[in-house]
Structure 1
Amino acid sequence: MNPVIAFTVIMMIWTISDFISKKTNTMLSSLFIASLIFLIGFKTNLFPEDLLTSSSLLTLGTTIVGFIIVHIGTSISLQEFKAQWKTFVIGVSAVVGIAAFLFVFGPLFETTNHVIAAIAAISGGTISIVMVQEKAIVLGLVAVAVMPVLISAFQGVIGFPLTSMILRKEAKNIQVQYRNGQLKSNEKSAIEEKTSGKLPEVFQTTAGTLFIVGVVVVVSMKLSEFTGGIINTFIIALLFGIALRATGIFKKNVLGGIDAFGLMMLGVLIIIFGPLATISVNDLIELIVPLLLSFVIGVGGAIIFSVIAGKILGYSLLMSIAIGLTSLYGFPGTMILSQEAANAVGETEEEKKIIENEILPKMIIAGFSTVTITSVFLTSILVGFMI
């Protein structure tokens, strides 16, 4: 297919997906809409099989995944984690619960590869899915590569309304506590750092920033090779991102604001649609049962483990469940749902602020602990067991 036409078609699909997602208040995620369009397009031959490869976006995406990982690392504040360490522990417990339950019920799945794909998708986001897909494609496991894409497409459909309902009930409990004098107004919220970092000005341009981040990724690759691949490149890149922000060398969200960031993110997202072009209809039908099992078992494990951890750490039942469910969507869903709950329940600006300050920091850190950190760590280990 002509590269220009292919690129333009993909941009059209993503534009439509974003538009529908916004119109439904993100109840239908752009990922879900895009997956549906691509799947229908490929299976009806409306789209040629080489649509994604012809656009060059797949090549771009696989090249800059490490850059995005470093960027994610710089979005993590150690100060915020210290303030919300209990939330972090509950979030980690939720991911452990997902993995534990899916492995216990593993015999219900066709292969262990399907179990690993389910764990990566239920517990994480794009990066975890890309890890599984890269290994699955190398092994010639197209159905396994597609499975996390389909799981991810439906995560928001399940996670958003369920979490919204739970957070609104928690907001009402907080409202009652505030009115009974058990809570006081607290203007402090998640810590916002407004620093440009310590990089020389020459490296604060688009090219300069990409050069420095690229060096970090190359070093991460070399260190991974030094360990014989035992420590995944992405894990090292994530740790570098966290450390470089903590030391003030990199600013928060190091790639934010540069001209290329939006296209880079699109490139990474396009990776996950690749297997949809070659999977057969029969394979899709055979994935229905594994998909249902993944959600029922995985989400069940996340809820049970997060409730147990929350009980030990003194969190309410509802807040613990909400933290566990962040594995289904992560940021910005964590922020949007928290603000919606506060605005829906609070009857005054003071009440809304109180509720938001109680819920929002926990949900933000929860999303980082599940999707951004624990899932990436766990998936990087599990893909080594795929055969």
Structure 2
Amino acid sequence: MARNLSISHANRKKVLYSMNQNMNRVCNNTINILKGGFIMSLLMAFSIVLVVLSIGDIISTKTKAFIPSVFVAALLFLFGFWTFFPQDIVALAGFEKSIIYLSMYLLITHMGTLLTVRELLRQWKTIAIALIGIVGICALTLTIGKAIWGWETVVIATPPLTGGIVAAIIMSEAATSIGRENLAVLAIVTYVMQGFVGYPLTALMLKKEGNRLLSGFRSGVLKHVKQNETSGDVNNRKKLIPPLPEKYITTYVILTKLAITSLLAVQFANLIKPIMDISPFVMCLFFGVIAQELGFVEQKPLNLANSFGFLMTGLMAFIFAGLAKATPSMLAKIAIPLAGIIILGVIGMGILSMILGKKLGYTKEMSFAIALTALYGFPPNYILTEEASKVLAKTDEEKEFLMDEMLPKMLVGGFTTVTIVSVIIAGIFSKLL
């Protein structure tokens, strides 16, 4: 009897063990199927990627941009990669590497068309302050940062800190090409996290500057000089190449001219490579400026072709695809250099921008705010300025006064750093590895 009970007990243990093993096998198979992409179809992957990006936008809007959308999206992608996302979910969603590179060429050429020499000449002081802020970032990261974390680390992390998504992608690819996966992740995470430092600092600077402006406005010392629309007549000025009749300005025609401009830029970069090795992305920026000034390409061509949003979506998805390599242990290793490089960069930009700003007649608050646009660019620079003006102003007239005084500087600062200089710096730094 005792022996039978013993056998029965042993059998029960075997049955329970077998059931547990089967359950584990089913769970593992399910996860493997999901991560292997057998269930993750094109539309499912595309939908998931868009849901993640949308959640980031919604939370950013709800918090009035205090919590960056890229920060939220990065956390969601990390959670997904650590659980059930396939490692190649972005590629499964249709955003293959060749498509992303095409998007980058077109987008950077498009950015070049936003640059009008006339408007930049008007804002030369703002441009000078934005540029000296970039110098401040590089000065501290490439000296103190290099001494602490090494040359490769600061070279990879500095360009994303001076600008936006394109610089982050260029440096991430450069790190991958030399087999430094952890530094490729550092480039992406730097881009994701820097805005989280820049937003509250900028909000503080703009509120202090806004209070100063309002004090002068209310006392009658400062007058409201309304800003004239300077960019609206760009396409109406006479140019070397006359514009096409409106009926021929179709989506295909606009994209064709933009593609030809990008092609010429890349071919020219390859042609002069034996003499001067310039990144094709930097050359696309220059050719975009030239093509728009000559009249070959319209200003904001991708907006006219209703293509800007989709190309940017692919680019953003590609950025977060790099987080598939970010294991918890890897993130723990880069946390200290990430925080240190961002802190050094912000201190450097703050010191130099305030010094130069004072010499040019700007307040230290406005100067620092202009330099900080390097950490996020457009549209946060617009949102933060509007939010500060709305909070401080008691009337519509006061709000308009604050917007006219601060917004042009913030927009030009962001355009200078994120759109132009960061791409140039990334092109240069990618050659330093």
What does residue 220 of structure 2 align with? Answer: 181
Rounded to whole Å, the distance in 1 between the matches of 2:306 and 2:191 is 28
CA contact (8 A) 1:3 1:54 kept: yes
What does residue 73 of structure 1 align with? Answer: 112
What does residue 408 of structure 2 align with? Answer: 361
What does residue 97 of structure 1 align with? Answer: 136
Between stretches 111-120 and 91-100, larger displacement belongs to 111-120
SS of the aligned residue for 2:174 comes to helix
Rounded to whole Å, the distance in 1 between the matches of 2:224 and 2:76 is 47
Q: Structure 1 residue 224 and structure 2 residue 269: aligned?
A: yes
CA contact (8 A) 1:96 1:302 kept: yes
Aligned length: 385
**Which of the residues 34, 41, 51 maps onto 2:89?**
51
* Amino acid corresponding to residue 54 of structure 1 in structure 2: L
* Amino acid corresponding to residue 112 of structure 1 in structure 2: W
Q: Structure 1 residue 106 and structure 2 residue 145: aligned?
A: yes
SS of the aligned residue for 2:199 comes to helix
Between stretches 23-32 and 125-134, larger displacement belongs to 23-32
Rounded to whole Å, the distance in 2 between the matches of 1:141 and 1:240 is 32
State the Cα deviation string for residues 214-273 of structure 1 (Å, max 9, x = none): 111111111111121611111111112222323344332111042433211111112211
CA contact (8 A) 2:255 2:301 kept: no
Alignment of 1:329-368 (within 5 A): 329-368=376-415
Q: How far is 1:29 from its partner? A: 1.7
Rounded to whole Å, the distance in 2 between the matches of 1:74 and 1:279 is 36
State the Cα deviation string for residues 50-103 of structure 1 (Å, max 9, x = none): 212222213321222010001111122222211110000000000111011100
What does residue 258 of structure 2 align with? Answer: 213
Q: Structure 1 residue 268 and structure 2 residue 306: aligned?
A: no
Rounded to whole Å, the distance in 2 between the matches of 1:199 and 1:268 is 30
SS of the aligned residue for 1:186 comes to coil
Rounded to whole Å, the distance in 1 between the matches of 2:258 and 2:88 is 31
Unaligned runs of 5+ in 2: 1-36, 237-242
Structure index of larger Rg = 2
* Amino acid corresponding to residue 181 of structure 2 in structure 1: V
Rounded to whole Å, the distance in 2 between the matches of 1:29 and 1:299 is 18
CA contact (8 A) 1:136 1:144 kept: yes
Q: 1:200 to 1:213 in 2, by over 3 A?
A: farther
**Which of the residues 333, 337, 359 maps onto 1:312?**
359
Rounded to whole Å, the distance in 2 between the matches of 1:241 and 1:89 is 22
Rounded to whole Å, the distance in 1 between the matches of 2:265 and 2:58 is 37
State the Cα deviation string for residues 287-346 of structure 1 (Å, max 9, x = none): 010111111101111111111111221211111111111111111111111222222222
Rounded to whole Å, the distance in 2 between the matches of 1:227 and 1:50 is 36
CA contact (8 A) 1:203 1:209 kept: no
Rounded to whole Å, the distance in 1 between the matches of 2:293 and 2:104 is 22
Give the share of equivalent positions with the same residue, in percent. 32
What does residue 174 of structure 2 align with? Answer: 135
What does residue 240 of structure 2 align with? Answer: none
Q: How far is 1:347 from its partner? A: 2.1
Unaligned runs of 5+ in 1: none
Rounded to whole Å, the distance in 2 between the matches of 1:251 and 1:63 is 19
Q: 1:200 to 1:385 in 2, by over 3 A?
A: farther
* Amino acid corresponding to residue 282 of structure 2 in structure 1: I
* Amino acid corresponding to residue 327 of structure 1 in structure 2: A
Q: How far is 1:109 from its partner? A: 4.5
CA contact (8 A) 2:206 2:365 kept: yes
Q: How far is 1:181 from its partner? A: 2.7
SS of the aligned residue for 1:337 comes to helix
Between stretches 238-247 and 146-155, larger displacement belongs to 238-247
CA contact (8 A) 2:116 2:293 kept: yes
Q: How far is 1:279 from its partner? A: 3.1
Rounded to whole Å, the distance in 2 between the matches of 1:216 and 1:230 is 19
**Which of the residues 369, 381, 384 maps onto 2:428?**
381
Structure 1 stretches of at least 4 aligned residues deviating more than 6 Å after TM superposition: none
CA contact (8 A) 2:129 2:371 kept: yes
Rounded to whole Å, the distance in 2 between the matches of 1:68 and 1:376 is 12
Rounded to whole Å, the distance in 2 between the matches of 1:21 and 1:176 is 31
CA contact (8 A) 1:74 1:242 kept: yes
Q: 1:189 to 1:293 in 2, by over 3 A?
A: farther
Q: How far is 1:174 from its partner? A: 0.7
CA contact (8 A) 2:261 2:291 kept: no
Alignment of 1:293-304 (within 5 A): 293-304=340-351
CA contact (8 A) 1:122 1:152 kept: yes
Rounded to whole Å, the distance in 1 between the matches of 2:376 and 2:166 is 13
> CA RMSD of the aligned region, Å?
1.8
Q: How far is 1:24 from its partner? A: 1.4
Between stretches 198-207 and 88-97, larger displacement belongs to 198-207
CA contact (8 A) 1:80 1:190 kept: no
Give TM-score, length-normalised by structure 1. Answer: 0.94
SS of the aligned residue for 1:27 comes to coil
Rounded to whole Å, the distance in 1 between the matches of 2:244 and 2:76 is 42
What does residue 74 of structure 2 align with? Answer: 35
SS of the aligned residue for 1:272 comes to helix
Q: 1:355 to 1:189 in 2, by over 3 A?
A: farther
Rounded to whole Å, the distance in 1 between the matches of 2:284 and 2:416 is 17
